[in-house]
Structures are given as C-alpha cells and as structure tokens.
Amino acid sequence: MRKTIVLLLLGVSALLPAQEQDSMLIRRIFNEALTSREAYENLRWLCKNTKGRIAGTPEAAAAVEFTRQVMLDMGLDTVYIQELMVKRWVRGDVEFARVISSRLGSEDLSVTGLGTSVGTDERGILANVIEVRSFEELDKLGEKRIRGRIVFFNRPMDPTLINVFRAYGEAVDQRVNGASEAARYGASAVIVRSVTTAIDDNPHTGVMDYDEGIPRIPAVCVSTMGANLLSAWLKQDPELKLHLISNCRTYPDVMSYNVIGEIRGSTRPDEIITVGGHLDAWDIGEGAHDDGAGCIQSIEVLRLYKVLGIRPKRTVRAVMFMDEEIAQRGAEKYAELAKLNHEKHYVSLESDRGGFMPRGFGFSTEDDRLEGLLGLEDYFKPYGITEFTRGGGGVDINPLKESGTVLISLVPDMQRYGDYHHSPIDTFEQVNIRELQFGSASIAVLIYLIDKYDL
C-alpha cells in the first residue's frame, strides 16, 4: 500500500513545476526522518553493544557486522566490506595518578592514557612535576630543569573563540606532540590538560605521536578539574610529586574493515556520491557523537531514499570508515581502492562533528561549481539551515581531493561538541533524536539536489 501511495504522489508531482516538485519532496524527506525512530534505535544498539570500538578490538568487529547487517536488511543494491590492517593498541586496566605533597597532602586525579602511548612498569613513575603552556616554554627551561620530571602541559582551549574547532586546533598540539617534545629534554612522562572547554572531571583522550629517534615516554591526559587542581597545588608546593601508573601497550596489527552500502545510480552509475562517518570510537566511551551519529546518518540517507522511492542518477554510497581515530588507515584504503578501480567520485560528504542540530554545509571545490552549491541554501531556509560556506571535507574523505572530488562537511551546531569529544560521557543519551534526524534529512536533501541538478 505504501509503495502505491509513493508512486501516486510521484505521478502528481510530475505535473508540477520543478521548484514545487523539489519543495514537496524535500518536505517528505524531512517528514519521514522526523517521524521515524529507526536511525535512533540503530544508534542506540551501536552505542550500547559496541562501546569502546577502537580499531582492532572485538567491539569494532561487532560494529562492522552490525552496520553491514543493517544495510543488508534494507535491501540495498550492494553491501560489502573492504579489508585493511589496523594498529592494535590496548589501554589496559590500570590508569592511576596521585598528587603527593608534603605541605598539602595527596589527591587522586582523573586521568586516561593517550592513544598509542607506551605504559609505565608495574610500579609506575614517581617524579616531580613541571608545568608549561607551550613548547617555547619547554625550550627555555631546557634539559637541566626538565630531566627526570613529569611535564605537565596546561594550555587550555581559548573559550573566547566562537569557532570551537579553531580553539581545539590551537590547543591539541600539546596532546599530539607533547611527549616527544618533552622527551627531547629527558622528561620521564607527560600529563596533558584535556582538550575541551568543559570544566569537569572527565578526561578526554585522543591520539598522540612519537617522533623517530626520540625516547618514548608515557603520556596521559587529565580532566580539566584535575589540571586546575594540579596547577594550583604546584603554585603552593613546587616540589610536589606525581605518582603515575598506566599499563597500556601496543600489539601486532590486526585485520579490520570499512563497511559500504550502495543504491546504484539509474543513469550514471559509474559516478559515485559518498556519504560517510567513521565507525571506530575511543574505548572510554560509546562514541555516540564521535562518530556513531555520522555513521547512522549516512545509513539513514539510503533508508530515506528506499522508503520514499528516490532513485538517484548517480550511485549513492554510504561508507563506514574504520580507524579514523588512530591512523586513518580506512581512509587510505578507501582512496587506494578507488584509484585502483578507476572510480569517479563526484561528491563526497562527511558527517563527523556530532549529531547536533545542523546549521549548514561547507564545500571545497573549484569556483565554477562552488557558486551552484552555495545557491542550494535557499532550499534549506525553511528548515533553519542557512550556513553554506566555502571550505569542507574531513579526515576520511580528504584523500579523495587529489582526484578532483568535491568535499563537503555537514556543519552542526558546534558549541557542545567539545564537552563530549573523546570522553566517557559521549553516550547515546547525549544525542537528541530530532537533532540527529534533522542532520540525516539535510544530508539526504543536499545529495538529492546535487544529483538532480548535476552540481
């Protein structure tokens, strides 16, 4: 019965001017998304049953099979996986940090290891602490002041910056490169302020890198409340010590997969439009906003097309990328196979900024295509989505740029993203169904218009 109604509506709409046809179909896409709970329940299952799905884990393997099965059950034209080898880093079950002061007493801090960090031995490290806010400060202190100490990187994100991602970018270098920079001067370990504007007791993890030829020392992040406490105590007792234990370690690489589902194009099947997010998530949380939401939204685009009888001219492909958080090997493998198979990627869109209310889209392309894409804003104004700007992409789709693919970012409201990013509270309960589905519908509409009008 539902299929008959869809066909009748399509027949009536064919008699209307193109703009009215588009407006009617866009309304139907939003209506279907905002009245369905299917995507939300898929996100619930992913979060609650594959918590801690960092690449190479059994939880990541379960997430691969779940999303593959969801797309198989939808009856898509094609569902398949791409093999790739990923790093296998395991946090371990002991993460401990205690401040010890002869003047102030002792206090435990909320810490968690940084991704790919080495661990300590069983006894841990007990050492004096020196606080810095930049690599320049580190250089001025030199080896004499740093050797044997634990370096405490305490540069906060700038809360006055409206663009939270810019503030994140200006603070994250201490997390990524701090261990090697401190090790150059003989530091025994580093403890890094969580990269978030939130003031709470939740440590925010993330990947870090070691430079070749530099000793590898343990690296942990500390909650912002813990960082504030440690800084305050150091002002009162510069000779306090920190006892740090972490038993994370790295194992040999293991096999994992990208997961892909397609609706094959009706007239230009060899031109591919991708929508995607990354399936892996940090092991201390459920990965709801980062990036379960983006994966489920990408699958939902295909469901919306199936339910509403939308047959795109081009092949629309939902991609669940693996290993974005550690080494981006899923992105590399996808681009490698795309080149090997001579695939033409017309447009690629990434959703990896959380499942919050969408504000618009960012586009990276040549000027001759950019004007038409920015002009699509008018279709979205009735839904309060008005920020269409130059500059789009994402970690997983950026490797496609060299082939001339238009790169697009879904841009949701960004102000709360940093509260949850890489933290234990990035859970299913933090995602609002309407905000999630506004994002799903927005992506589906944008791709529909790009495909229809050859933008």
Dihedral of alpha carbons 164, 165, 167, 168, sign: positive
Q: What mean pLDDT do residues 122-131 have?
A: 97
Per-residue confidence at 256, pLDDT binned at 50, 70, 90?
very high
Residue 19's pLDDT is what?
Answer: 81
Q: Are residues 104 and 79 in the same domain?
A: no
Residue 16's pLDDT is what?
Answer: 62
Annotated catalytic residue, options 32, 131, 324, 350: 324
pLDDT over 80 at 10, yes or no? no
Q: Are residues 158 and 194 in the same domain?
A: yes
What does the pLDDT look like over 194-221, one tens digit per residue?
Answer: 999 999 999 999 999 999 999 999 999 9
Q: Are residues 49 and 152 in the same domain?
A: no
Question: Which tokens sit at 238?
Answer: 């510069």
DSSP structure string for 15-75: TS-HHHHHHHHHHHHHHHHHH--HHHHHHHHHHHHSTT--TTSHHHHHHHHHHHHHHHHTT
What is the rounded distance in angstroms from the CA atom of residue 194 to the CA atom of residue 200?
A: 10
Last residue of a domain, one of 222, 247, 272: 247
Q: What are the distances in angstroms from CA 305 to CA 231, 316, 350, 438, 445?
A: 54, 10, 18, 15, 10
Per-residue confidence at 433, pLDDT binned at 50, 70, 90?
very high
Residue 20's pLDDT is what?
Answer: 84
Per-residue confidence at 6, pLDDT binned at 50, 70, 90?
very low
Residue 148's pLDDT is what?
Answer: 97
Instruction: Note if 343 is an active site residue.
Output: no
DSSP 291: I
pLDDT over 90 at 14, yes or no? no
Domain that holds residue 105: 92-247
Q: What are the distances in angstroms from CA 355 to CA 293, 352, 368, 370?
A: 5, 8, 31, 25
CA nearest 240: which of 153, 123, 150, 156?
150
- CATH number of the domain enclosing 172: 3.50.30.30
Task: Report the run of H or E that residue 232 belongs to, with start and end.
Answer: helix 224-236
Of 1-5, 46-50, 303-307, the poorest mean pLDDT is in 1-5
Q: Are residues 261 and 398 in the same domain?
A: yes
